[in-house]
Amino acid sequence: MIDHSLLRPELTREEVLAGLATARAYGAATVCVRPADVGLAVAELRGSGVAVGTVVGFPHGGATTATKVGETAELVAAGAAEIDMVIDIGRLRDGDAGHVEEQIAAVVAAAGGRPVKVILENWYLSDEQKVAGCAASERAGAAYVKTSTGFAGGGATAADVALMRHSVSPAVGVKAAGGVRTLDALLTLRELGATRFGATTTAAMLDDLAMRLASRREWAHRSGMEKRPPAGRR
């Protein structure tokens, strides 16, 4: 359920390689890399079962439709299996959901059947605008609606995830990204309907999960031992 995120602008090649190794070791759903790193990620992760995702119109969403379509086509040709695109935030705030829908549909077409996750960047939107963005995304054929880039003033919130889950059909997933740094935060958002998570702390969260599962197994084992009758009473 985790898209391991490697999108910070200052990441060096060595840091990207280390992040790709983390995604492979922990079995992430995907690694979401900067467009320039798609080729490297595809080569490094070939055969691992970890898909390569990337971003379009990132992080501000203000590129033209033609630019986003061209970017998508180039990245798909380079091997990207999933596309996270940022909407034209200002146009949605203007009330022009039609333009937003047309742009998403054009990117979906350019992706050629690969999942497109639509980043609404909720920090800038009213609840009404979030709902409108979700509806436009679903009509345009998006696979997911996504809360945030992680580069605005705020990220995923419980209220936003619940609202987005309510605003799309079960056919559309909800991706929570931005500030999902702990296992408890992830599990809370999962209960509210998020089905994919963008995170940089993948290793810490999954190490925490492994420890909890081990503790649970140990507790169950000890509990079972305590409930066994003494040997002479069996």
Residues 118-171: tens digit of each pLDDT: 999 999 999 999 999 999 999 999 999 999 999 999 999 999 999 999 999 999
Residue 222 has pLDDT above 60, yes or no: yes
Q: Give 164's contacts (C-beta < 8 A, 6+ positions apart).
A: 120, 130, 134, 145, 147, 174, 193
Q: For residues 231 and 95, which has the higher predicted lDDT (pLDDT)?
A: 95
pLDDT tens-place string over residues 76-113: 999 999 999 999 999 999 999 999 999 999 999 999 99
Mean pLDDT of the chain: 95
Candidate list 3, 37, 84, 160, residue with the active-site label: 84
Residue 226 has pLDDT above 80, yes or no: no
CB 30 within 8 A of CB 81: yes
The pLDDT confidence band at residue 178, using thresholds 50, 70 and 90, is: very high
H/E stretch holding 30 reads strand 30-33
Active site residue 146: yes
- Return the number of other C-beta atoms located less than 10 Å from residue 162's C-beta: 16
pLDDT tens-place string over residues 104-115: 999 999 999 999
Active site residue 84: yes
Residue 231 has pLDDT above 80, yes or no: no
Residue 4 has pLDDT above 90, yes or no: yes
The pLDDT confidence band at residue 234, using thresholds 50, 70 and 90, is: very low
Which of 43, 72, 216, 53 is closest to 146 using CA atoms?
Answer: 53
The reported pLDDT for the residue numbered 30 is 98
The reported pLDDT for the residue numbered 227 is 65
The reported pLDDT for the residue numbered 220 is 82
Instruction: Provide mean pLDDT across the span 23-48.
Output: 98
Active site residue 175: yes
Rounded Cα distance between 143 and 120, Å, is 13
The two tokens of residue 158 are 């419980």
Instruction: Please state, for a pLDDT cut of 90, what percent of the chain lies above it.
Output: 92
H/E stretch holding 217 reads helix 202-227
Q: What are the helix and strand counts (H, E) for the chain? A: 9, 8
Instruction: Provide mean pLDDT across the span 200-228.
Output: 87
Q: CATH code for 2-201?
A: 3.20.20.70
Domain residue ranges in the chain: 2-201
Buried b (16+ CB within 10 A) or exposed e, 114-140: bbbbbbbbbbbbeeebbbbbbbbbbeb
CB 140 within 8 A of CB 105: yes
Candidate list 68, 117, 130, 146, residue with the active-site label: 146
Candidate list 68, 117, 130, 175, residue with the active-site label: 175
